[in-house]
Amino acid sequence: MGNSLNAWSDALAGFYLFGLPLGLVILAAIPLVFIALYSLTYGVYGERKISAFMQDRLGPMEVGKWGILQTIADILKLLQKEDIVPASADKFLFVVGPGILFVGSFLAFAVLPFSPAFIGASLNVGLFFAIGIVAIEVVGILAAGWGSNNKWSLYGAVRSVAQIVSYEIPAAIALLCGAMMAGTLDMQKITMLQSGAYGFAHFFLFQSPIAWLPFLIYFIASLAEVNRAPFDIPEAESELVAGYFTEYTGMKFAVIFLAEYGSMFMVSAIISIVFLGGWNSPLPNIGSVALNDWTNGPVWGAFWIITKGFFFIFVQMWLRWTLPRLRVDQLMYLCWKVLTPFAFISFVLTAIWEVYRP
Amino acid sequence: MQELDTAGLGSVRVTRKSDTVVILEKDLATEQMVLAMGPQHPSTHGVLKLECLTDGEVITQAEPYLGYLHRCFEKCCENVDYPAVVPYTDRLDYLAGMNSEFAYAITVEKLLDIEIPRRVEFIRVIVAELNRIASHLVAIGTYGIDLGAFTPFLFCFRDREIILGLLEWASGARMLYNYIWVGGLAYDVPADFLKRVKEFVNYFRPKALELSELLTENEIFVKRTHGIGIMPADVAINYGWSGPMLRGSGVKWDLRRNDPYSIYPELDFKVPVPDGKHSVIGDCLSRHLVRAWEMDESLKIIEQCIDKMPSSEGFNSRSAIPKRIRPKAGEVYGRAENPRGELGFYIESDGKSTKPLRCKARSSCFVNLSAMKDLSKGQLIPDLVAIIGSIDIVLGEVDR
Amino acid sequence: MEEGKVISQSLQESAAAYSIIHEKFGSAISDLDANETMPFFEVVDTSLWTEIALFMRDHPKLKFNYMACLTGVDYPAEEKLGIICNFESLALLNHKLSVKVKCARDGGSIPSVACVWHTANWHEREAYDMFGMTFTGHPDPRRILCPEDWEGYPLRKDYKVQDKYHGIKVPY
Amino acid sequence: MSEYFGNIKTGAVTIAAGMGITLKHFFNAIHRKGDAGLDDVDYFRQVDGLCTLQYPREVIPTPANARYRLYNKIEDCIGCGQCVRACPISCIEMETIKVAPDDLALCGKTSDGQQKKFWVPVFDIDVAKCMTCGICTTVCPTECLYHTPVADFSEFDRSNMLYHFGNLTRLEAEAKRRKLAEIQAKALADKEKKAAEAKQETKDGE
């Protein structure tokens, strides 16, 4: 299996046309296209529909059957909008902010194994890379917030930086529990270690009696890292108007949105890779009915990881449309006094479990 | 060790060793920032402007600026006849038009000293309490939005829509009713109205429970409002607070009980005040809880009114309305319990004209809001939003 | 009061409260206008108004802790402006009384009671905004509803609206 | 410490309860509430579900007594001008011409048989100003002015919000006015003539 791993992506990377690394470009374009498509379809439209249904509303209905083309109409509208840079804004930071944000959320896709045969870059420190690269978003947010020269934006940016930097600690420690169970930081290997004939029973979440704790901690922390409710204080629309992107219009605004939905999928994919077996099928082999064998493979793998990712995005949306927003100090309380200690506890317990495992 | 203030450059803590000054710690030079919140801001509930002086996220001072929605109510009143003031009162507190009309009507009736048919009184109370529920639904829903919970808002508006439908059916309009006239009602209620209202009461009870489970009991919501913006009872009275705001501070004061008007003395309902178990008395959560409990009491009142309602036989809703309203010379201050507190009307008549000489609306929101400066001192920006939400202002009533 | 007409209990309470104030301030205040709709007395010596207010708030038998309303009124016939305050002893003694204070129409001033009842703060600003009497000792004497540079006092009976405000046509 | 864990527990429990409610509504979204009006007997017996409607195509009916667009049935209007005086915001503009005696039959009667004594060449309602208070309709003696349940009457051009109900064209109005002026002038002349004659007589008498 080791050989077949990354087979497609390796082949693509080696594809040159007229001496140009066209394969690499395609490799990079696949996640990009994926983010764009998913944000268009599931991200924006899905969120609007899900929120509408939870609130007894119909949601978008006018453009296309059941409003399915609504997002395309929105994108067209955004494209036509005047691209305003406020007169007193720091033009360089203002323009570069959304770019950094997008690159930050996009880079992590490089190390996400989308199927047994496809991974952008099979790094041996993939998990570490994924955790670290999220921090780049902070720079983008700060640039956007500061560059706007708007007090609300500045508040949003400062809040966001404080929040993301703090929540990286419990998030990283929780992920380390998974890494410890796998014994590697390579995302592809972590996923492989969770495959087996019994499907979901091989997932790390069910491999150890305390894995639910880091799983939960990472999920909560990831909500904060991608600024989703109830931790959406950087863009709290009732307090800070729109937070760090108050001044953005047109395509820049769209790019920030894309980045947000991109990182939503990213953290969902990471949690499903580390704890829920990534591209492994959750279905077990039952006797001669080899469900697990039938539903595994490169294409099935892509299906499973995207499904798992979408499920977690659904939970994120579900939470968002249920809960009020925390206050800044409560957010920090939750991070430093609840999640971090419990993350350490689960870290130690996982270590003990790994050493004395029966 | 001592602290030196270096002329706005931030404080420096120093210590002296023999002759030399050793700097121990140096704060960054910080400035306070003026933050203009509103008049276009999502959580100022309209066109209120708060000019905040902020130190980081902490507000050192917040000064409200009003008048963006000033529509010269009092000047208008001096230029129209007594009955024609009623549509203007709708526009004071546009979320509770029936209550505003009710307050105006009883004030002028006090000046005229006329008897009102009993059925009129019952219908007035029913529509006013329905509107109170509608108004509290908006208050609770928007409070959820202020704190970031969107879904309860939509649930509130779903049910408010039904109340507005009921009131439209009775009065002909959805928000600006002109239904309660001086001396009577514009029309009797439609035939099936009371039955439908009763059905609504039954429909609404479980919905209110669901709402409280979704929002009021939510731990994040409680944490956001518990102990925030505490107003002691005596200060609240001195500020002239009334209604749910005053009751939130633990004063059991309800004009329907303490200065009874209409048929309220005959009805059995509680005046809810916080007991200090769920919340700190006088905080945002208390005020929110009082509103939630009041909806329940209003439902009870409506049920009783429907049961006791005199029959409509031979009833003319306009029978007691004077042909031409020209009160004798005199002054009156009449008031009623509105969803947001005491709405009072001071009316002066010169005895000759059919127009009031002076008609002043004492609006509850205006008075409640005046405590904003005190309440917001030293709070965080998110708490400021929570406090504004808990005051539940309607700018139409603040600016008049 | 007409002979034989029943005096309501609230009016009796108001009269009792009035007699206490009258005892203390004597001729500084006028007689009680004992009508059923709004019993009131007028402060004759306006300079004593703040003192009377404090007395009304703090006297153990008065305890007017709640100012319900403060209304500005224009009396063009008397060449005067006035305020009418409605007081109540909320949740304590439950009696009500109203007070009138008047001042000259041009450049008149009334002592502020914003230090006695917080309610008066904004209401006095509103009365100033609409009628133009000044409140001496008010902590924040600005207009409240109209813009700071608005001309005239809108609720005066002889008010003429200005033609243009910052280039915007005003009369509708 | 127990408070610490208690907080975490209540937090988890209440969040779970809230999520249960939203999930219930999410799955309930397969149902849609109908568009019955409140005067419908089955209003509260409709299914629970999505409660919004797609407005222009699906409408909750407005009740029959709803008070929206102001309408004047000019055939019944006697031109008394009560509504003009009653309107708090003066959104009604009216001009009347007295009917010449020989035109009374032409002018006609109201539906309840009252003789109309005025032509109403101008009866303009500015529905953009109208605040649908209904005061004008209550003072109308012939009940020809009333609010209709038509709630949606938005226009692209503001001048279209000025509704004209007058029963004469401008030319007709001009003719009527001239006719009336002639009659009045004639009457005046007659009067003057009579007065002059009377004077003459008194003079002659002296």
pLDDT band at C3 (very low <50, low <70, confident <90, very high): very low
Looking at residue A2, what is its pLDDT?
A: 45
E strand or H helix at A35, and its extent? helix A22-38
Dihedral of CA atoms A6, A12, A14, A19 in degrees, nearest 10, equals: -160
Contacting chains of B (3 CB pairs or more, <8 Å) are A, C, D
The Cα-based distances of A172 to A127, A341, B326, C14, D119 in angstroms read 9, 13, 78, 72, 87
C6 touches chain B (CB under 8 A): no
With an 8 Å Cβ cutoff, are A55 and B35 in contact? no
Whole-number Å distance between alpha carbons of B36 and B42: 13
pTM of the predicted model as reported, rounded to 2 decimal places: 0.86
* pLDDT tens-place string over residues C83-138: 888 888 887 778 888 888 888 888 888 888 888 888 888 888 888 888 888 888 88
With an 8 Å Cβ cutoff, are B371 and C38 in contact? no
With an 8 Å Cβ cutoff, are D26 and A54 in contact? yes
D38 touches chain B (CB under 8 A): yes
CA angle D141, D143, D149 (to 5 degrees): 150
Whole-number Å distance between alpha carbons of A230 and B147: 10
Burial of A144 from C-beta contacts in 10 A (0-12 / 13-18 / 19+): buried
Within 10 A of A101 (CB to CB), how many other CB atoms are there? Answer: 28
Are C and A close enough to touch, i.e. 3+ CB pairs under 8 angstroms? Answer: no
Task: Take residue A220 and report the two structure tokens written for it.
Answer: 């909560």
The answer as to whether C53 is a domain residue is yes
> CA of B359, closest CA in chain C: separation in Å?
9
D26 touches chain A (CB under 8 A): yes
Burial of D71 from C-beta contacts in 10 A (0-12 / 13-18 / 19+): middle
Query: Domains of chain B by range and CATH?
Result: 2-62 (no CATH), 70-399 (1.10.645.10)
Q: What is the DSSP string of C76-144?
A: TTTTEEEEEEEEE-TTTT--EEEEEEEEETTT-EEE--TTT-THHHHHHHHHHHHH--EEET-SS---S
Looking at residue B20, what is its pLDDT?
A: 66
Q: Where are the domains of chain D?
A: 2-45, 69-185
What is the identity of the amino acid at B75?
A: K
D8 touches chain A (CB under 8 A): yes
List A residues 128-147 in contact with B (Cβ-Cβ < 8 A): none
pLDDT by residue, tens only, chain D of 206 residues = 788 888 888 888 888 888 888 888 888 888 888 777 777 777 887 778 888 888 888 888 888 888 888 888 888 888 888 888 888 888 888 888 877 777 777 777 777 777 777 888 888 888 888 888 888 888 888 888 888 888 888 888 888 888 888 777 778 878 888 888 888 888 888 888 888 888 877 777 66
pLDDT band at B133 (very low <50, low <70, confident <90, very high): very high
> CA of B223, closest CA in chain A: separation in Å?
8
CA angle A194, A196, A198 (to 5 degrees): 110
Prior bond of A298 cis (ω within 30°): no
Looking at residue D195, what is its pLDDT?
A: 85
With an 8 Å Cβ cutoff, are B346 and C86 in contact? yes
Contacting chains of D (3 CB pairs or more, <8 Å) are A, B
Q: In total, how many domains does chain C have?
A: 1
Which of B72, B366, B400 is facing C122, going by the closest CB pair?
B366
> What is the CB-side half-sphere exposure of residue B398 using CA atoms within 13 A?
28
Looking at residue B25, what is its pLDDT?
A: 65
pLDDT band at C78 (very low <50, low <70, confident <90, very high): confident
pLDDT band at B12 (very low <50, low <70, confident <90, very high): low
> CA of B230, closest CA in chain C: separation in Å?
17
Looking at residue D164, what is its pLDDT?
A: 84
Which of A57, A151, A327 is facing B382, going by the closest CB pair?
A327
D44 touches chain B (CB under 8 A): yes
* pLDDT tens-place string over residues B140-176: 999 988 888 888 898 899 889 889 988 888 888 888 8
The answer as to whether C2 is a domain residue is no
The Cα-based distances of B195 to B135, B295, B302 in angstroms read 22, 19, 11
With an 8 Å Cβ cutoff, are A239 and B150 in contact? no
Residues of A in contact with D15 (CB under 8 A): 319, 322-323
CATH of the domain at C160: 3.30.460.80
Looking at residue B5, what is its pLDDT?
A: 46
Contact B188, B312 (CB under 8 A): yes
D51 touches chain A (CB under 8 A): yes
Looking at residue A71, what is its pLDDT?
A: 82
Residue bearing tokens 């998913």: A38
Q: Is the pLDDT at B11 greater than 50, yes or no? A: yes
Q: Which fold has domain D69-185?
A: Alpha-Beta Plaits (3.30.70)
Looking at residue B7, what is its pLDDT?
A: 45
* Average pLDDT across chain B, whole number: 84
Closest residue in chain D to residue A319, using alpha carbons only: D19
Contacting chains of A (3 CB pairs or more, <8 Å) are B, D
Which of B72, B239, B344 is facing C68, going by the closest CB pair?
B344
Task: Take residue D98 and report the two structure tokens written for it.
Answer: 């007295």
With an 8 Å Cβ cutoff, are B146 and A238 in contact? yes
Which of A55, A58, A318 is facing D23, going by the closest CB pair?
A318
Residues of B in contact with C146 (CB under 8 A): 67, 70
Which of B78, B346, B399 is facing C69, going by the closest CB pair?
B346
The Cα-based distances of C126 to B131, B398, C102 in angstroms read 29, 11, 16
Looking at residue B9, what is its pLDDT?
A: 47
Closest residue in chain D to residue B195, using alpha carbons only: D41
Are C and D close enough to touch, i.e. 3+ CB pairs under 8 angstroms? Answer: no
Residues of D in contact with B199 (CB under 8 A): 43-44
What is the identity of the amino acid at C18?
A: Y
Report mean pLDDT in 10-residue bins for chain A, 358 residues: 58 69 71 69 81 87 82 83 83 87 82 75 81 84 87 86 87 87 83 78 80 88 84 76 82 83 85 84 75 72 83 88 86 88 90 82
E strand or H helix at B260, and its extent? none
- Alpha-carbon dihedral sign for residues A322, A328, A329, A332: positive
With an 8 Å Cβ cutoff, are B196 and D18 in contact? no
The Cα-based distances of B7 to B56, B58, B63 in angstroms read 20, 22, 26
Looking at residue C160, what is its pLDDT?
A: 84
Suggest the residue from B145, B151, B218, B228 to mutate for an interface test with chain A (most A CBs closer than 10 A).
B151
Q: Where are the domains of chain A?
A: 84-355
The answer as to whether C38 is a domain residue is yes
Residues of C in contact with B366 (CB under 8 A): 122
Closest residue in chain A to residue B57, using alpha carbons only: A155
Looking at residue C2, what is its pLDDT?
A: 44
